[in-house]
Chain A
């Protein structure tokens, strides 16, 4: 498979009064054409900021301090706003958790969709309207031509998210970044949205980065999974490998703490403590204070990213564990 997106050593820091927050700290990730990658992490792990960085949406006080993001070989870091505007919505698109914040509440749906269409395509008003209706039909909105004249508040949460997805996929982007788009939705609606994105991405050969805190949501969707902790990808590999044979203690802990992975009624295996703050110098492995396998070296030296057997892991003892299994 050809590589669509190649992220290397990405660092996005935020300047605060307390010091520099290293929200994304040395993230490397490659996404192949047509691939679905699940980016999983808890709050504050840097998964959303990674998404924003790929979209060129990092505003002051944040900035990308190092690294490269290449889309089909083209460097995106340092691109001017003009170039970004041509790219966003055309080659890369993003959907967010709360469609009420992405849709303009005082504009009708048709106005918003047609604006997005004509930003990248030179088509007549009539054709744009047709296109908009087709897009709504494509995400399963009944009687799309009539719904075009509605306002966002007249849609339910699930329907609003469908509209946001329709807008994101208007120009058949090469890469879709989905930032927790189903987290606020009910399970049955979540299932519908997941199915829709699955079908459309396959049809359009769009690659997807699906950002979520919920391992079980991406387990049935993603080809590969990248697990983030404290601004870094601590483990990355094929979905089946990561889920059945997690190499990083954090991934193992995360899987074991899921109620569905435990027998009902039994005590859940828990990860002690809480995620660290991302302020100041990084000394040793960020997960070491919570890790049940931590040794002296873990609190002294920061583990490097090691790649073996199609798996990238940041842990001093990951590979030893894998040999043992």
Chain B
């Protein structure tokens, strides 16, 4: 196999909420206030091959967005390293992020033409007088026409705004797109349009994606490989086909069973008990043990080491 585009190597990330003045003062006179530390990522190792779509799934608080930001270069890791190896010269531009809410990530006061073209001009990819044509070209790639050039973001529907967000990311010729819940806010019929656009751009531009979503159906559809995260750790990673047909980790199994599907006849819901613990104070050993039907004393004491099972890498004592 060739060198991966991205190699995430034992990356951890904590967020620390420092003590306020009152707590510091209280500590001086014998109080015992500690800083609140959120363990967002805990020793994550994975790589993204060129031209693949790596799906990241997990429930809220599992660290998938933090991982996305670190891979996109928006956030430094607290420990570990991310190696990004683009073929082009400008490594900073080669990874771009597409966010969940395009109305929050687009500038409400910029015309679409500036919104999309500004970065390309600023980085010298196109000359200022060529910007208009350049943007028209990008708009065509995402399925919008030149008539929208001088409109503002609020004049578009949610699906169109998503397309503008994608065009803006494409403007600097990226090799890696990190999509963080990029279709979560869209209606089903619009979501299908945008998912098709992602697939089409991958084919025509040879893009690599890291596709973060809580929606297993969307991830299954688009990804070639999937990583399942739970409380800051990757519990299972492997090819989409293997994971969706034969998940090995009890958490992945529960997640897939809870996934709503079109079916006729009554469905029995609720296959997993309890809720995700707080990343401020994650459970000992395997983070999943308080909810796991198979957990025993070893699980609450020792964090499992990842092992290979076929083409799946899994972190569970009993897989």
Contact = CB atoms under 8 A, between A and B. Distances in A.
B163 to A, nearest CB: 11
A259 B275 contact: no
B266 interface: yes
Nearest to B60: A186
Interface in B239-275: 240-241, 244, 254-255, 257-273, 275
B220 interface: yes
Interface size class of A (residues with CB under 8 A): 35 or more
A191 B271 contact: yes
A257 B188 contact: yes
A172 B219 CA distance: 40
7 contacts: A216-B261, A221-B267, A239-B264, A240-B264, A258-B188, A259-B192, A272-B193
B221 interface: yes
B24 interface: no
Given A187-B259, A188-B254, A268-B192, 17 more contacts: A186-B59, A187-B255, A188-B258, A189-B275, A191-B270, A195-B270, A215-B188, A244-B264, A254-B188, A257-B189, A257-B192, A260-B221, A264-B241, A268-B195, A270-B189, A274-B157, A274-B190
A259 B264 contact: no
Interface string B13-44: 00000000000000000000000000000000
B221 A264 contact: yes
A255 interface: yes
Contact of A187 (B192, B258, B275): B258
A192 B269 contact: yes
B150 interface: no
A257 B153 CA distance: 26
B162 to A, nearest CB: 12
Contacts of A42: 187-190
B270 A267 contact: no
Nearest to A44: B187
Contact of B266 (A158, A190, A196, A220): A220
B159 interface: yes
B214 interface: yes
Interface majority SS on A: helix, strand, loop or mixed? Answer: helix
B46 interface: no
B192 A264 contact: no
A219 interface: yes
B265 A240 contact: yes
A271 interface: yes
A61 interface: no
B260 A216 contact: yes
A279 interface: no
B44 to A, nearest CB: 20
A265 interface: yes
A258 B187 CA distance: 10
Contacts of A195: 268-270
A239 B192 CA distance: 23
Interface string A262-300: 101101111110110000000000000000000000000
Q: Which of A189, A215, A216, A268 has the most B CB atoms < 10 Å from its CB?
A: A268
B257 to A, nearest CB: 8
A258 B262 contact: yes
Contacts of B263: 216, 219-220
Given A43-B187, A267-B199, A186 B276 contact: yes
Interface in A186-238: 186-192, 194-196, 198, 213-217, 219-221
